[in-house]
A and B are shown apart, each in its own frame.
Chain A
C-alpha cells in the first residue's frame, strides 16, 4: 500500500494493464438492442409515433390530411404549445415542473398589449417590457426553488394563481381587438406573418418554434450550461460536488423558461390576432402533456428537448386527424390520455436499461 502511495505513477501504470470494472452489456437480443438505442436517443420513440400517426392518418384520409397544407396547419396549431413546451422541458429536465407557464404567457401578452394601448408606449418597448415580465416571473420561480429550496410544484402552483390573478386585476379581462392592433401596432402580430412554399403555409411563429427547439437542443447537448442542466436534474448533490453551481443553473433555467413564455405570449397575439386574457390558460397542462409524450422524464435529467416538439406535434396530428376523420372531439382527449400513460410506461421500461 505504501509502495503504491510513494510511487503512484508506476502503480497506476501497472494497474492500468489490469482489467478494470467495465459497463458491459450482457443482455442480448433485438429487444435489448432497441431498449439501448432508445436509452441513448430518447426522442426516437415520439419521433416514431409521430411518423406512424402521420402515415396512419394519411392512409386513412388520403390527400385531405397528407397535404402540405394540412401538415403545415398542424404546425400552426401547435406553435404556442410547442414554444411553451420548450420552456417546460428545460424546467422538467431539472426535475422540476412549471405550472405557471400558461399564466406567464398570458400576462406577458397582456403587458405588451396594455402598455401599447393604455399607456401609448412605443410598441417595441412594450414588447420588451412583456418579455421582461416573463423573465421576472421566471426569476421569482427560480429564486424560490433554488434559494428558498421550495418544491417547484408548490412554487409554480402559487405563481400560477398569483400571475393569473394579477393579469385579471391589471387587465380587467379586457380584450384588445385584432382590428385595433392591426391598425396601430402591427408589430404585436409579427408572429402571424406568413409565407407560402407551394401549398405549405408557414408563419414566423412556426419558424420561431422550430428554431427555438433546434437551438435549445444544441445548447443542451453541446455547451457546459446545457450539461449542467442535465446534471442538476439527474442528481443535484453530485452536480454540486462536481463543481456545478446548482443554484445559478436552476435560476437561469427558470429565467429562460419565463423569457420563452414571454415569446409565447407574443406568438399568441399573432395567432389569435387580439390580446385576450382568456386564451392560453391551459398551456401549462398542454405543455406538460407534450413533454411527457415527448419522452422527457418527469424525474429529471433525461430526455431530449426535440422529443417535446414531437410530443406537441403528435397531439396536433391526432387532433386534426381525428377531426378530419369525423370523430367526436372526446376521442382526441381519450387517445391523448392513452398516449401519456404509454409514454411514461415506455420511459420506465427504458430506465431499466441502466438499472
Chain B
C-alpha cells in the first residue's frame, strides 16, 4: 500500500514536470531505475553528453527505488505525449513494462533497453547491454585458473541479488558457474545445481549490509568456504567484512561484477580478487546515437553478431592475471570505472 502511495505520488510529479517541459525538435527520453545509483548517474552523463553533441533534447526520468515500476510507466506515457523520437529504458520490472513499451513503439518511438533486457528481449527494438553471462564467465574462469589444482576441491559461496531472481543476477551467477566448470541445472534459474562444491546461495540485495549477512549465513553453514561469488562490488565489500570478522579475509577468493570506482579500488587493495567491468556510459551514448539515426531516416540499430543484443563490452579487472583468461590491469580499470 505504502509503495503504491509513493509510486502514485511520484508518478504524478514526474508526469506533471514532463508535461510542463514539452519542447520542440528531436527529443529522446532516458528512463532509469533510480537517480541515485552511480551506475545510472554515469549512464545519464553519457546520454547527456551524446545528446548535446547531436543537438537533441534529452529528458531524464527515474524511479524512486529499484523496483519502482509505476513511475517508469508514467514516464513512458509522458514521453509518448511529449512526441519524443525514442526512449532508452532500464526497466525495473522487465515483463510488466512490456505493455507500456508496446504502446510507445506503436506510437512510432524507438525503444532501446539499456543494461537490462526486457522479457521477452524482442519487446524492445534493441537492447544495449553488458553480456552479464560473459561477465560471470570471466570471473568464474579466473577463479578456477587461480585456484589451479585446488579447483576440484573448492568450497563456493554464491552471493546473489534477490530471491525473485532478476535476469541480471541469474546470468551472472550461471555465467560464473559455467566459467568455473560447474554443471548448470536450468540456466534460467540459480540454486538448482547439484555440484557439492557449492556450499549454498544467499541473497544480498546488492549492498554491503546484505553481503555481510549472507556471507555470515553461509560461513555458519560451512566455515571452509574459499571462493565467494558476489553479484556486485558493494556485496563483495560486505562479504569481506564478514570474512574479516571470522579471520578468513586472506585465504578466500572474492570475485564480483560491475567495475565501479570503489570496486576497482577494492581490487587494488586485495579485497576483491577480480571483477568484471561494465560500461554504462557507452550504453547510453550508443543509445542516443541510435535514436538520432532513427529520427533522421528510420534506421534501426543492429545487434552484435551472434547475440540477440548490442554488446557494450565487458573486461576482467585484476592485478593477478590468470593464464588463458584475458584481463586488464587495475590501472586501466580505474581509467574506465564509473561512479
A binds B: yes
Interface residues of A (CB under 8 A from B): 64, 69-70, 73, 76-77, 80, 99, 157, 161, 168, 172-175, 177-179, 192, 194, 201, 268, 271-274, 276-282, 319-320, 323-324, 326, 328-330, 333
Stretch among B20-28, B212-220, B297-305 lining the A interface: B212-220
A274 to B221, CA, bound (A): 25
Q: How far is the CB of B264 from chain A (nearest CB, A)?
A: 11
**Are B209 and A268 closer than 8 Å at their CB atoms?**
yes
**Are B208 and A273 closer than 8 Å at their CB atoms?**
yes
Which of A157, A276, A320 meets B5, CB within 8 Å? Answer: A157
Interface string of B30-56 (1 = CB under 8 A from A): 000001111001000000000000000
A174 to B37, CA, bound (A): 9
Other than the given A279-B208, A324-B220, 4 more pairs (CB < 8 A) read A172-B41, A274-B237, A282-B205, A323-B221
A329 to B200, CA, bound (A): 11
Tell whether B245 is near chain A: CB-to-CB under 8 Å. yes
A64 to B200, CA, bound (A): 16
A177 to B240, CA, bound (A): 12
Which of A157, A174, A281, A329 meets B2, CB within 8 Å? Answer: A157
Q: Quick one: closest B residue to A319, CB to CB?
A: B217
Which of A64, A276, A329 meets B163, CB within 8 Å? Answer: A329
Which B residues lie within 8 Å of A192 (CB)? Answer: 245
Question: What would 10 A/B residue contacts be, using CB atoms closer than 8 Å?
Answer: A73-B220, A80-B209, A177-B262, A179-B269, A271-B212, A276-B234, A276-B237, A323-B221, A328-B191, A329-B202
Which A residues lie within 8 Å of B220 (CB)? Answer: 64, 69-70, 73, 320, 323-324
Q: How far is the CB of A67 from chain B (nearest CB, A)?
A: 9
**Are A273 and B37 closer than 8 Å at their CB atoms?**
no
Range of interface residues on B (Cβ < 8 Å): 35 or more
Which B residues lie within 8 Å of A177 (CB)? Answer: 237, 262, 265-266, 269
A277 to B339, CA, bound (A): 13
**Are A271 and B200 closer than 8 Å at their CB atoms?**
no
Which A residues lie within 8 Å of B191 (CB)? Answer: 328
Tell whether B207 is near chain A: CB-to-CB under 8 Å. yes
Assuming the contacts A73-B216, A324-B221, A329-B163, asked whether A278 and B237 have C-beta atoms less than 8 A apart, the reply is no
**Are A276 and B208 closer than 8 Å at their CB atoms?**
yes
Which A residues lie within 8 Å of B37 (CB)? Answer: 173, 278
A99 to B3, CA, bound (A): 12
A323 to B179, CA, bound (A): 26
Tell whether B241 is near chain A: CB-to-CB under 8 Å. yes
Tell whether B238 is near chain A: CB-to-CB under 8 Å. yes
Q: Quick one: closest B residue to A80, CB to CB?
A: B209
Q: How far is the CB of A72 from chain B (nearest CB, A)?
A: 11
**Are A174 and B38 closer than 8 Å at their CB atoms?**
yes
Which A residues lie within 8 Å of B36 (CB)? Answer: 168, 173, 277-278
In the A-B complex, the 5 residue pairs with the smallest Cβ-Cβ separation, listed nearest first, are: A279-B209, A272-B208, A168-B36, A273-B241, A323-B217
A233 to B143, CA, bound (A): 57
**Are A330 and B163 closer than 8 Å at their CB atoms?**
yes
Assuming the contacts A175-B234, A273-B237, A280-B209, asked whether A194 and B245 have C-beta atoms less than 8 A apart, the reply is yes
Q: Quick one: closest B residue to A270, CB to CB?
A: B241
Tell me the chain B residues, 191-237 only, with Cβ under 8 Å from chain A.
191, 200, 202-203, 205-213, 216-218, 220-221, 234, 237
Which B residues lie within 8 Å of A272 (CB)? Answer: 208-209, 211-212, 237-238, 241
A139 to B240, CA, bound (A): 37
**Are A77 and B241 closer than 8 Å at their CB atoms?**
no
Q: Quick one: closest B residue to A168, CB to CB?
A: B36
A276 to B238, CA, bound (A): 10
Which A residues lie within 8 Å of B221 (CB)? Answer: 64, 323-324, 326
Which A residues lie within 8 Å of B217 (CB)? Answer: 319-320, 323-324
Q: How far is the CB of B330 from chain A (nearest CB, A)?
A: 14
Q: How far is the CB of B32 from chain A (nearest CB, A)?
A: 13
Which of A76, A168, A276 meets B207, CB within 8 Å? Answer: A276
Which of A70, A76, A168, A319 meets B35, CB within 8 Å? Answer: A168
A57 to B211, CA, bound (A): 24
A177 to B236, CA, bound (A): 12
Assuming the contacts A64-B220, A319-B217, asked whether A326 and B234 have C-beta atoms less than 8 A apart, the reply is no
Q: Quick one: closest B residue to A154, CB to CB?
A: B5
Q: Quick one: closest B residue to A285, CB to CB?
A: B2
A256 to B217, CA, bound (A): 33
Which B residues lie within 8 Å of A273 (CB)? Answer: 208, 237-238, 240-241, 244
A175 to B35, CA, bound (A): 15
Which A residues lie within 8 Å of B213 (CB)? Answer: 77
Which A residues lie within 8 Å of B216 (CB)? Answer: 73, 76-77
Which A residues lie within 8 Å of B266 (CB)? Answer: 177, 179
A135 to B209, CA, bound (A): 24
Tell whether B156 is near chain A: CB-to-CB under 8 Å. no
Assuming the contacts A161-B6, A320-B217, asked whether A173 and B38 have C-beta atoms less than 8 A apart, the reply is yes
Q: Quick one: closest B residue to A182, CB to CB?
A: B244
Tell whether B109 is near chain A: CB-to-CB under 8 Å. no
